[in-house]
Amino acid sequence: MSRIGKLPIDVPAGVTITVDSDVVTVKGPKGQLIVPHLSDVTVALDGAQAIVTRKDDEFIAKAQHGLQRALLNNAVIGVTKGYEKKLEVNGVGYRVNGGGNKIELLLGFSHPVNYVAKDGISLVVEKMTITVVGIDKQAVGQTAAEIRAIKKPEPYKGKGIKYADEVLRHKAGKAGK
């Protein structure tokens, strides 16, 4: 039995889950998310809980059991609390401007870099910190990864864009005489 898949999902008040043959729709105070309904598992609503069960003990059913539960739980958390990732910009002369769904990054290139986020994602800029906020966990993580990829932190001085909780290992520079 999947350790993740067998756990019931608590559905808070104000959140409705609609199960169709190919999708599961989760509506809440922050918006609506659509999760694919995988073929070898079933989603049942039992009062204030959603329970995911698999149809048989085939390998693919076991794999989809935990996946379906995790996707559904992420959607419930997203429509109630939302997700956010923080990025820090480090470097002399580096600047970040903007907000909403557009930011302008000055990262030592010969030109400013403009980044436009997808719908449903908002970017909050405070000094040298970028906060990516949204209800879809995958979209928030993908947006943060795309922004970080513009200028990854380098290992000698740590200049670049890094996650707020990321720990960088610095390399030693050239040895002097």
CATH number of the CATH domain containing 53? 3.90.930.12
Mean pLDDT of all residues in 73-95 = 95
Mean pLDDT of all residues in 17-22 = 92
What pLDDT shows up at residue 132?
A: 97
**Are 49 and 19 contained in the same domain?**
yes
**Are 89 and 147 contained in the same domain?**
yes
- Total number of domains constituting the chain: 2
Cα–chain-centroid distance for residue 139?
Answer: 5
Whether residue 33 is predicted with pLDDT greater than 80 in this model: the reply is: yes
Percent of all residues in the chain with a pLDDT value above 90, rounded to a whole number: 88
Tell whether 2 is covered by a domain: no
Tell whether 177 is covered by a domain: no
Query: Of 47, 80, 113, which residue is a domain's last?
Result: 80
Tell whether 74 is covered by a domain: yes
The radius of gyration of the chain from alpha carbons, rounded to an integer in Å, stands at: 21
Helix %, strand %, coil % for the chain, to 5? Answer: 20, 40, 40
**Are 58 and 124 contained in the same domain?**
no
**Exposed, middle or buried: residue 153 (CB in 10 Å: 0-12, 13-18, 19+)?**
buried
Query: Of 32, 56, 80, which residue is a domain's last?
Result: 80
Report the alpha-carbon distance of residue 70 to residue 24 in Å, rounded: 13
Report the alpha-carbon distance of residue 149 to residue 169 in Å, rounded: 18
Tell whether 114 is covered by a domain: yes
**Are 101 and 66 contained in the same domain?**
no
Tell whether 175 is covered by a domain: no
Q: Is 169 within 8 Å of 154 (Cβ atoms)?
A: no
pLDDT bin (cut points 50, 70, 90) of residue 5 is confident
Question: Does the predicted model carry a pTM greater than 0.85?
Answer: yes
Tell whether 3 is covered by a domain: no
Instruction: Compute, in degrees rounded to 10, the torsion defined by CA atoms 127, 133, 4, 17.
Output: 160
Phi, psi of 66 (to 5 degrees): -70, -35
**Are 55 and 94 contained in the same domain?**
no
Determine the straight-line distance between the first and last CA of the chain, rounded to whole angstroms.
62
**Are 95 and 140 contained in the same domain?**
yes
pLDDT bin (cut points 50, 70, 90) of residue 136 is very high
Q: What is the mean pLDDT of the chain?
A: 93
**Are 16 and 51 contained in the same domain?**
yes
Which residues span the domain enclosing 105? Answer: 83-163
Mean pLDDT of all residues in 152-173 = 93
Phi, psi of 108 (to 5 degrees): 85, 0
pLDDT bin (cut points 50, 70, 90) of residue 1 is low
What is the Cβ-side half-sphere exposure of residue 37, based on CA atoms within 13 angstroms? 15
Query: Of 80, 112, 132, which residue is a domain's last?
Result: 80
Tell whether 57 is covered by a domain: yes
Helices vs strands, H then E, count in the chain: 2, 13
Tell whether 168 is covered by a domain: no
